[in-house]
Amino acid sequence: MRSKPKTWSSIVTCAGIVAGGAGVVGGCGGTSPSSMNGMDGGPVGSNEGGATFTFSPSNVSIATIGAQQGSAADENLSSACQIKTDATAPEDDCFTSPIEAVMQEDGSTVNLVVMQSLQIQSTGAIAVTGGVPVVLVSLTDITFLGGNIQAGSASLAVGPGGAAGAGSNAMGSGAGGGVAASSTAAVGASGGSYCGLGGVGGGASTTSMVYGSASIRPLVGGSSGGGGTVGSGAGGGGVQLTAALTLTLDAGSYISVGGQGGPIGGLAADQNPGAGGSGGSILLEAPTVTVAGTLAANGGGGGGDYSTNGGANATPNATAAAGGAAGNSDGAGGTGGAATATAGGPGMTGTGLNAGAGGGGVGRILINSTTGAAMVTGAAMSPALTTSCATQGTLRTVAQGP
């Protein structure tokens, strides 16, 4: 992996805002030193085959995008690569365009890559992990030709901005961190919540609260499940894709921000399993959005018996992650939230010494377009568009800001 230096060449700021509150990127010509830091907050442009922004991207300002567009390149991915997000020193081996740590409107940090265009071929696969969410911006188009972005959480890999797994019998991390398992009784941990509630643990009656908004502003990841005797599953990551013209996800392509499954319980009494993490966030926006692939922000399965493999990690489809099976020592774990079932499933008390853990709730999906009705044909979306956790909206105007 390599860290990309910031380049400030060829950055231009166009004056003013056109009628109707639309900003313009491109076609300006010349170079204005005063615009290199985007101090005027106005629309930005490049004399490198620029495009038109007719809206304000969510979470990152047009001026912030302009500060990186002088180094924006046409990106065409045909192999596997990695992005490691970080609040100060992000790294990637995916793009020629630099990756930078920038601030959202609420003061939190995301990592931003600004490109002239992005194509992900069928052999292209971007794996994203790290401490902060990631935003990919194209000054023209983003096209998935069967490729994928995997930003979910699994063993030793936490999705970008997802909350890390909890410690032993500890409260889960993140705004919807799950309730911890008991260390003195057969009471299981609850799954992490986000848009969907985490499933309650076996023998328990409480879970964590949902959080965030349908606008996914700010961009955030999922929360981890409540800790069992050996911890819990992490929350899924946060991913935003913004294109100035079109965003297309062909059949066979996917973006996944699923939660991690919870770990197994122990052989002795009061060694309850850990709960699953919640799904994260997917935010897509462009004037024209077409989705025929898969968008998945599913929760991880809750942990079960010592003799099993624990709760399953969320997968890039509309199938719920299985909870760990019941056995002689521990009750079964709950399934992760998926499709129309936004809440994680409950853990079971079973007949063993300990109670199973709850599954993680679903995260959020939002598609913003000019009309508020993207072309969604043959797509697999989980959570489903019929739920409040997957929605469509209209693009923000430049006057509204990020």
DSSP string computed for 302-346? PP--TTS--SPPP-SSSSPPPPPPP-SSBPPPPPPPBTTB-SPPP
Tell me how far apart the alpha carbons of residues 245 and 92 are, in angstroms, rounded to a whole number: 25
Q: 111 has which bridge partners?
A: 101, 134
Tell me how far apart the alpha carbons of residues 44 and 40 are, in angstroms, rounded to a whole number: 10
Q: What pLDDT score does 51 carry?
A: 53
User: pTM for the full model?
Assistant: 0.90
The helix or strand, by DSSP H or E, that contains position 376, with its residue range, turns out to be strand 375-376
CA angle at 197 for the pair 194 and 199, rounded to the nearest 5°: 130
Tell me how far apart the alpha carbons of residues 107 and 322 are, in angstroms, rounded to a whole number: 37
Tokens of 217: 């502003």
Tell me how far apart the alpha carbons of residues 59 and 84 are, in angstroms, rounded to a whole number: 20
Tokens of 116: 């002239």
Tell me how far apart the alpha carbons of residues 212 and 223 are, in angstroms, rounded to a whole number: 11
Q: 75 has which bridge partners?
A: 118
Successive 10-residue mean pLDDT values, the chain, 402 residues: 36 29 38 31 38 87 92 97 98 97 96 98 98 97 98 95 98 98 97 98 95 97 98 98 98 98 96 98 98 98 94 98 96 98 95 94 98 95 98 94 88
Catalogue the E-assigned strands of 158-259: 238-243, 246-249, 254-256
Q: What pLDDT score does 291 carry?
A: 98
